[in-house]
Amino acid sequence: MLAHLTDTARQLAAVLWQEYTVYRDRTGGVVIRGEHVQRWISLSATGTRDEVLIRVGRILDGGTSAPARAETVRQLSSGTGELAAACRRLLADMAADAAVPAAPYAPRPVRPQQRPVRKKAKARVALWVLLATVASGAVLAALVAYSSYSAAAGH
C-alpha cells in the first residue's frame, strides 16, 4: 500500500506543482511539500483498503508545518485527476479561509470605577506620599527648633 501511495503522491505532485518534495512521514503516510507556495499535502491510508485521507496545511516561515486546515477521504483507485481536483478544492478552501480577516480584538470596556492601576502608578503615588511625609516632618522639626530657640532667647 505504501509503494502505491508513494507513486500516486509523486504523480499528484507533478500535476499540482512544478517544484515539490515528496517524503514519507512518521505515521506511514506520504507528504508533498510545495515550498514555493508554502503548502503541504498529506496522503495516508485509512481503515479501508482503497481509501486515502487527504489533508492540506500551510508551511510556516521557519519551515515547520502548521496543523492541517482541511481534509477529505477519497478512493485511491479513482485516478490522479480526481485526486488532484480534490486537493485543489481543499487548497482553495484553505486559501478562502485565510483570506477572511479575523475579527479584530475588542477589549472589554473598562468601567471608570474599575480602571486598572499599573504598578508604576502605584509606586509613583507611594513615592509622593513618602516625600510629603518627610517634608512635613522636616518642617515640623524646624518649627520645634525655632520655638525652642525663641524660648531660650526670651523672645
Note whether 93 and 121 are same-domain residues.
no
Note whether 20 and 69 are same-domain residues.
yes
On whether residue 149 sits in a domain, the answer given is: yes
- 39 — phi, psi (to 5°)? -135, 155
On whether residue 6 sits in a domain, the answer given is: yes
On whether residue 123 sits in a domain, the answer given is: yes
Identify the domain containing residue 123 by its residue range: 117-153
Note whether 89 and 142 are same-domain residues.
no
pLDDT at res. 137: 92
On whether residue 126 sits in a domain, the answer given is: yes
- pLDDT 10s digits, 37-62: 899 999 998 877 789 999 999 988 88
Annotate 64-105 with DSSP letters as a single string.
PBPPPSEEEEEEGGG-HHHHHHHHHHHHHHHHHHHHSPPPPP
Q: How many domains does the chain have?
A: 2
Mean pLDDT to the nearest integer, 108-118? 60
pTM: 0.61
Note whether 69 and 131 are same-domain residues.
no
